[in-house]
Amino acid sequence: MQFPEYRPRRMRRTESLRRLVRETVVRPDDFVFPIFVVPGKGVRKPISSLPGQAQVSVDEAVADAKECESLGIPAVILFGVPDKKDAVGSEAWNDEGLVQKATRAIKQACPELTVMLDACFDEYTTHGHCGVVVDGDVDNDATLENLGRVALSQARAGADVIAPSGMMDGFVGWVRESLDEEGFEQIPIMAYSAKYASCFYGPFREAAGTASDFGHRKAYQMDPANGHEAIREVTLDAGEGADIIMVKPALAYLDVIARVRDEIDLPIAAYNVSGEYAMLKAAAANNWIDHDRAVLETLTSIKRAGADMILTYHAKEAAKLLRRG
């Protein structure tokens, strides 16, 4: 059927017709809200590169978690911003560490809310890399040993989902085995499977207080030019027992999300990262784009590409916008 018999505009004529044929719907159910936990009490320190976001102490993290729950957001992911750092990031597996404490407090206040924990070392190491550095490079297998310790400490604290993010080879299988050996076979793993060496993590550095003394992450995170390789990575992680596959960042990698959707029948998470959030906020602050529409259009595009859930700093404001309808 061709014009003039077929006129695609017919089904766009009214809002109710558009609603009937809308293919993608974003809901608060789709969101995971990231929280940066710092030491202290009553602390809520704004992050200048992420307007509207703050580093919070454990008590304030509980307040954020309660707000998420009341907005219908099912999950939060916690990042620790400790004042103690060392060469291997041992604070990451301290049972009395910040995210461990915050997890216990949030689970007590909001037992139904899902608490995800990022299992990595970059916030905990003096050099800012995601593991044990040997001869100027992150040593894969030495890092795995410590990653097992982190996952167990997080599971003991009551985390509902463990999310290893360091892009070490074999990390999903290693975490799975470590958890199963200690009786945590019910805890799912969300694997940062296709995580690219991206400049869009820029503002996260300030938010998470990660140092970067030397080098880059190109020797463990993926080359932004590679799409087929993402399929190899997610296939490996699925084989090692990942329960959720992540693609990160989201916006410059929507094609990767769509390809992974076609290849893998596991739930897919997309991380709408700090730089993506910061760009939108900066353009909106200049009145160059309509903030609210940009937020919802961005989130819709990530879902349309194939993501089941979106880790996003927009979670709370988007949930409010969606509630208003």
> Is 248 assigned a catalytic role?
yes
Residues 159-198 that bind ligand PBG (CB under 6 A): 165
Q: Given candidates 120, 152, 187, 315, which one binds ligand PBG under the rule CB under 6 A?
A: 120
User: Nearest distance from residue 204's CB to ligand PBG, in Å?
Assistant: 3
Paired residues of 119 in beta bridges:
164
Choosing from 107, 195, 281, 316, the catalytic residue is 195
User: Nearest distance from residue 312's CB to ligand PBG, in Å?
Assistant: 9
User: How far from 92 is each of 99, 268, 288, CA to CA, in Å?
Assistant: 8, 26, 41
Letters for 126-165 (x = contact with ligand PBG by CB under 6 A, - = none) are ---------------------------------------x
67 near 316, Cβ under 8 Å? yes
* Binding-residue total with ligand PBG (CB under 6 A): 8
3-state secondary structure of 14: coil
For residue 36, state whether it binds ligand PBG (rule: CB under 6 A): no
User: Nearest distance from residue 22's CB to ligand PBG, in Å?
Assistant: 29
Nearest alpha carbon to residue 316 among 80, 75, 112: 75
Q: How many helices (H) and strands (E) does the chain have?
A: 11, 12
In one-letter notation, the amino acid at residue 233 is E
Q: Which residue has 């299992």 as its token pair?
A: 119
Give the dihedral of Cα atoms 105, 109, 115, 117; nearest 10 deg: -10
Paired residues of 183 in beta bridges:
none
Choosing from 101, 107, 248, 281, the catalytic residue is 248
> Is 303 assigned a catalytic role?
no
For residue 274, state whether it binds ligand PBG (rule: CB under 6 A): yes
| CB nearer to ligand PBG: pick between 65 and 273 | 273
What is the Cβ-side half-sphere exposure of residue 27, based on CA atoms within 13 angstroms? 6
| Positions marked catalytic | 195, 248
By CB under 6 A, name the binding residues for ligand PBG: 118, 120, 122, 165, 201, 204, 273-274
